[in-house]
Amino acid sequence: MHRSAPRLTRIFASAAIPVMLVVAGCSSDSGSGSDKTSGSGAASGSSTGAKPSAAAVEPAKFAKLPEPCKAITSKTVLALVPKVKNKAGTAGSSSDTSARGGCSWNGLEDKGVKGSNYRWLDVAFLRYESESGLGSGEKRAKEAYAKEVAKTKATEDAKNVKTSPATGVGDEATAIGYDLKKTDETFKYATVVARTGNVVVTLGYNGAGYAGAKTPDAADLMKDALTAAKEAAASVATANK
């Protein structure tokens, strides 16, 4: 190898803007429904002045999430991440796997004098429960979806940001592509934010060429990201059969 160990260390340090941050930032959105409903029986039949109970909200469509590291097929992972370090994926930490979860894969394909290709792929899931006072799970997921799209479009130092609808991915989806300069290389990013029922799915895919390797084509990168995003969104319904 003509590259030093510190060089490879910098390469693997330049992973994607971690979608897992989405997972960590929503711990207050789910799992608290039982505390809010504990007083529902306070009014007895003999209480003439009891207030009517709040209108019931529509039940959430999906009750659980898929296993994040199995939400994208091994065939797709190997195609998108050459020389992947761990094809089984690295799961993100979660205190409530029914509400949030994520997984990531990365790899560096060394082509000798032709340089090296680096790729990073990750997926994150957020499930919203229906709660009185907050609304249905689908309503809450729609709000979270819009916020995630806006957040991705506003990625710090992103250049050439392009956004378009992503058809065929869940109930609604947006594709966001942009460039980001890291470790003296230009990384191409392709992010697909989708909503299926009461679940928000965020799929991130990025890459760069090192030591003479070509920078990934943005259109090709987004095409591959959409393939993976469709699998991830479909896995939610499969997990709830």
pLDDT of 2 reads: 45
pLDDT band of 136, cuts 50, 70, 90:
very high
For 175-212, what is each residue's pLDDT tens digit? 999 999 987 889 999 999 999 999 999 999 999 998 88
Range from 2-11, 97-106, 172-181 carrying the lowest mean pLDDT: 2-11
In this predicted model, which residue has the larger pLDDT, 238 or 213?
Answer: 238
pLDDT of 233 reads: 98
pLDDT of 56 reads: 86
Range from 15-29, 44-58, 142-156, 192-206 carrying the lowest mean pLDDT: 15-29
DSSP notation for the chain: --S-HHHHHHHHH---S-THHHHHTTTTSSS-HHHHTTTTT-S-TT-TTPPPPPPPPPPPS-S----GGGSS-HHHHHHHSTTBS-TT-EEPP-S-TTTEEEEEEEEEEE-GGG-EEEEEEEEEEEE---BTTTB-HHHHHHHHHHHHHHHHHT-TT-EEEEEEE-TTSSSEEEEEEEEEEETTEEEEEEEEEEEETTEEEEEEEEEEEETTPPPPPHHHHHHHHHHHHHHHHHHHHHHT-
For 110-135, what is each residue's pLDDT tens digit? 988 888 999 999 999 999 999 999 99
pLDDT of 7 reads: 47
Domain extents for the chain? Answer: 17-27+59-239
pLDDT of 76 reads: 98
pLDDT of 49 reads: 52
Q: What is the mean pLDDT of residues 82-97?
A: 95
In this predicted model, which residue has the larger pLDDT, 85 or 39?
Answer: 85
pLDDT of 112 reads: 85
Q: What is the mean pLDDT of residues 151-161?
A: 97
Range from 20-29, 74-83, 126-135, 199-208 carrying the lowest mean pLDDT: 20-29
pLDDT band of 64, cuts 50, 70, 90:
very high
pLDDT of 153 reads: 98
* This prediction's pTM: 0.79
pLDDT band of 107, cuts 50, 70, 90:
very high
